[in-house]
Structure 1
Amino acid sequence: MARKRENENVSARTVFSPYARLFSVPGARAFSLAGWFARVPMATVGLGSVLLVAGETGSYALAGAIAGTLSLAFAVASPQWARLMDRIGQSPVLRWTALLYLVTGLAFVTVVVADGPRWAWFALAAVCGASGSNVGSVVRSRWAHALPDAEQRQTAFAFESVADEVVFVAAPPAVTVLAASVSPPAGFLTGLLLGVVGGLVLSRLEATAPPVERRVAGEPRPRVRVLTPGLVAIAVTYLAMGSVFGAIDVVVVGFAEAEGHPAAAGLALSTYAAGSLVAGLAYGVLRLPGTLVSRFLACALLFGLAAQALHLVDSLPVLVGVAFLAGLAIAPLLVAGMSLVESRVPRAALTEGLTWTSTGLTVGVTAGSALAGAAVDAWGAEGAFAVPALGAALAGLVGVAGWLVLRRPDAPVVAEVPAGRDGGLTT
């Protein structure tokens, strides 16, 4: 019996040894942990703002509009911050955005609690959302710089997808408990402060940041067109994928309430994220056949097919099982797309390239939430499961269209800009 347990332990160590090797890279533990805390707001600010505004006003319509403003502002601004990071370095931009995020977030909470004019709520929500940088892309670009081997980078990107899922499993219930048991602003502020601290710590870890290309006076600098057809294809696939995430949050909450067990929504959504976590761990250690493009296509089709099981949901136990099944297809598609971006975008613009894909997800989440809310009102919660199922099918179809584009290599460097002009990395 003891030998059997020893063999099982050895087998587990062998399976997960690629993850252990990641953290033998100098500085990897520090920047990965700091990045984990810095990304907490991505799972808490939207929900925290809903709980804050709804708690202060009782209006979920107003709360949803505020949360949408935060998300859309982040989607528009985060690629611009990423471009600046690629031009001047990650550390100064991380410091600026963390401090700006703190000030604007506190101002937003203050004006809501003080019942200030509604236009100020929206204005500060927009400025707060625009102050956030996409930390997931920052950390992934550090891994890409640190790891010379493509298989190691796949493992690192899988680990980061798992880190994302851990945030989405653990943070929303914590925010909800804080808002309910302490005060409506508590959940929002906790996520905000954790993100600011993580961002400031990450900004101090300059040794692991990707280097900035040095300019030589009088020499032209290449202008990099980041939004190539291939990157757009991946970002649009992620947009459809994001619509599933946004829709399923709303529909699951509505279905659990309709079934008389609203607390079960948290269990179902955590199971959805847990399925992605398990698949992400497995994808990171598997050595799959085929090219990056073919893997992306296969993962997009799998994502589209797995979510069709949502049409079968007619009870909470079925929902939990289907959620786990559908969740298994999330992380593989995220990792496949990020790996493709990393392989095609020049290092000088990698943070921006990775951020554009996350922007697609963010816009999709906002659209999916709005569509699902209307569907729940019109069709009932059970019928509204058609929205995330159709969104997933669309992601599969867009993935096929993207595959046709991605088979052709991109040519990102399109021009040379004189050194005396503002010829930064542009899209």
Structure 2
Amino acid sequence: MSARTVFRPYASLFAVPGALAFSLVGWLARLPIPMIGLGTVLLVAGETGSYGLAGALSGALALSFSVVSPQWARLTDRRGQSSVLRVQVSAYLLFGAAFAVAVIVGGPHWLWFALAALTGATSPNIGALVRARWANALDGAGRQTAFAYEAVVDEVVFVVGPPLVTLLATLISPPAGYLAGLAIGVIGGFWFAGLRATEPPIHAADPSGPSRRRALLSPTVLVVVIVYVAMGTVFGAMDVVVVGFAQEAGRAAMAGVALAAFAFGSLVAGLVYGLARLPGSLAARFLGCAVLFGIAVQLVLVVGSLAVLVPVAFVAGLSIAPALVSGTSLVEARVPRSALTEALSWTTTGLTLGVTAGSALAGAAVDAWGAESAFAVPALAAGVAGVLALVGAPLLLRARSVDHPAEPLPAASGAG
């Protein structure tokens, strides 16, 4: 069987009019996600020499994004993607640039924190917008493939973004990486907002269906978001522990190789999962993938050298994308269209909160126990994710999906 035949389901995604444009622009607009966070650390540390202050500001940015992003998504479901995104990106540019200026000119620290929080609060959640467009255009099988493809795009973003921002900050100046990420986000955001032909229509709430609040607080959304918090804790902890482990071994550059292996394992698994037609319900697939994730990450407990870390990271990474894709697919199937963007945004919020917590917990563990022992943090968090999924299983298996027929996009030439 040729590679062309194997990957035909992915190629068929781009037969949807305008899909290639909104997916590629969505990739560009998501690139700043890792660049802004790391760029903030490099900017502040470069200007002040304080990594503690830099980490606190990066955390403030991430936390404000987590809290406010679903509110933007709710407005998007009510008003449409393009109009809301233009306002959001304009504010993002204003506050993001003001934060950089405040740091560079040495403004008061309280102003730095205020502007960092405002920058995070206005950061667009492009991933949720892209997935909402796929969900609007495809049926169930096609959505699984599209969501798997987007999970791969997310991994590529986190493989490309950190080295790029580090290179710019190192070779040019500390602010360069942060400002490049901000510029890419603004350009990508406005470009994405201009792709009107593929924008999902506004769906009024169905009077006979569940209320919007009830849909978003449904057992499915709550269980998936809580499991995602635990998964995000694994990701944040792995970043810190792997860097610490490589530094203790005297080979700091190997941290990038190990983290790339972790992401590459997820990328490979995401491609395969998108092609597979697995038996069972969406809820059963999510439960199975979450438990598999909880088991697979326990492999990090056997790491005793960098030679072992890289293959272990790859194997553990194979469990990431299936868990994320199955969770996203389950949420998409269980909420009405009038609340879809907000529901998808809450899944991102769960991951972001977990990453923030994982970074803090792992940093304290590395300082207290050493990096090798600190691998217990991601292992424990992964185990918790699997247990939480099993605890929520009765709720997930009892709930019903919402019927979402695909709505063909206009056959327009060009996606704008």
Q: Tell me the TM-score normalized by structure 2.
A: 0.94
Indicate if the aligned counterparts of 1:311 and 1:385 stay in contact, CA closer than 8 A.
yes
Gaps of 5+ in 1: 1-9, 413-427
State whether structure 2 residue 111 is matched by structure 1 residue 113: no
* C-alpha displacement of 1:411: 9.3
Residues in 1 aligned to 2:280 and 2:19: alpha-carbon distance in whole angstroms: 29
Residue 133 of structure 1 aligns with which residue?
Answer: 124
Written as runs of structure 1 = structure 2, the 5 A alignment for 1:198-209 is 198-209=188-199
Residues in 1 aligned to 2:273 and 2:381: alpha-carbon distance in whole angstroms: 23
Gaps of 5+ in 2: 403-416
Residues in 1 aligned to 2:205 and 2:68: alpha-carbon distance in whole angstroms: 26
Residue 178 of structure 2 aligns with which residue?
Answer: 188
Residues in 2 aligned to 1:385 and 1:81: alpha-carbon distance in whole angstroms: 36
How many residues end up aligned between the 2 structures? 400
Equivalent residue letter for 2:326: A
Q: For residues 50-106 of structure 1, what are the alpha-carbon distances to aligned partners after superposition, in whole Å with 9 as ceiling and x for unaligned?
A: 111111111111111001000000001100000000000000111111111111111
User: RMSD between aligned alpha carbons?
Assistant: 1.6
Query: Of 50, 57, 78, which aligns to 1:59?
Result: 50
Indicate if the aligned counterparts of 1:162 and 1:276 stay in contact, CA closer than 8 A.
yes
Equivalent residue letter for 1:275: G
Residue 412 of structure 2 aligns with which residue?
Answer: none
State whether structure 2 residue 381 is matched by structure 1 residue 391: yes
Residue 224 of structure 1 aligns with which residue?
Answer: 212
Residue 277 of structure 2 aligns with which residue?
Answer: 287
State whether structure 2 residue 19 is matched by structure 1 residue 28: yes
Indicate if the aligned counterparts of 1:82 and 1:133 stay in contact, CA closer than 8 A.
no
Query: Of 136, 141, 144, which aligns to 1:154?
Result: 144
Q: Structure 1 324/215 Cα, relative in aligned 2: closer, same or farther at 3 Å?
A: closer
State whether structure 2 residue 362 is matched by structure 1 residue 367: no
Written as runs of structure 1 = structure 2, the 5 A alignment for 1:190-269 is 190-213=180-203, 223-225=211-213, 226-269=216-259
* C-alpha displacement of 1:43: 1.4
State whether structure 2 residue 41 is matched by structure 1 residue 41: no
Residue 379 of structure 1 aligns with which residue?
Answer: 369
* C-alpha displacement of 1:221: 10
Q: Structure 1 311/215 Cα, relative in aligned 2: closer, same or farther at 3 Å?
A: closer
Residues in 1 aligned to 2:313 and 2:92: alpha-carbon distance in whole angstroms: 34
SS in 2 for 1:230: helix
Residue 422 of structure 1 aligns with which residue?
Answer: none
Query: Of 279, 283, 289, which aligns to 1:299?
Result: 289
Residue 91 of structure 1 aligns with which residue?
Answer: 82
Equivalent residue letter for 1:324: F
Residues in 2 aligned to 1:220 and 1:319: alpha-carbon distance in whole angstroms: 53
* C-alpha displacement of 1:402: 2.1
Residues in 1 aligned to 2:193 and 2:53: alpha-carbon distance in whole angstroms: 35
* C-alpha displacement of 1:345: 0.6
Residue 408 of structure 2 aligns with which residue?
Answer: none
Query: Of 308, 315, 332, which aligns to 2:298?
Result: 308
Equivalent residue letter for 2:336: P
SS in 2 for 1:210: coil
Q: For residues 293-347 of structure 1, what are the alpha-carbon distances to aligned partners after superposition, in whole Å with 9 as ceiling and x for unaligned?
A: 1100110011001100101111111111111011100000000000001100101
